[in-house]
Amino acid sequence: WRHPNIVQIYHAGEENGRFYFAMEYIDGIDLAERLTTQPLPLPFAEVMRVGTAVAAALDYAHAQGVVHRDVKPA
């Protein structure tokens, strides 16, 4: 399945007891970096844009039977 707010996972595997994912590369900065390098507080419009995107991604994942349990700003 595919959603515009969820990074694509191309492959997942295990090698020598270590699990890994090969994922889509997303250029730019993540939210954690945005929060530490840009002026705060975030503009309301940006908070709404990010919050809406995260909520849409989680809603889609939950509809697919996925429970994420580790959402972070990266």
pLDDT of res. 70: 85
Catalytic residue among 27, 30, 59, 70: 70
pLDDT of res. 49: 96
pLDDT of res. 68: 85
Top pLDDT among 40 and 69 is at 40
Does 30 participate in catalysis according to the annotation? no
Among 28, 19, 21, 30, smallest CA distance to 54 is for 30
Dist. CA 53–CA 26, nearest whole Å: 15
pLDDT of res. 61: 95
State the residue range of the domain holding 28.
9-63
Q: How many domains does the chain have?
A: 1
Rounded to an integer, the average pLDDT of 45-69 is 95
pLDDT of res. 71: 85
Does residue 68 lie in a domain region? no
pLDDT of res. 22: 98
Q: Apex CA 19: angle with CA 26 and CA 63, to 5°?
A: 60
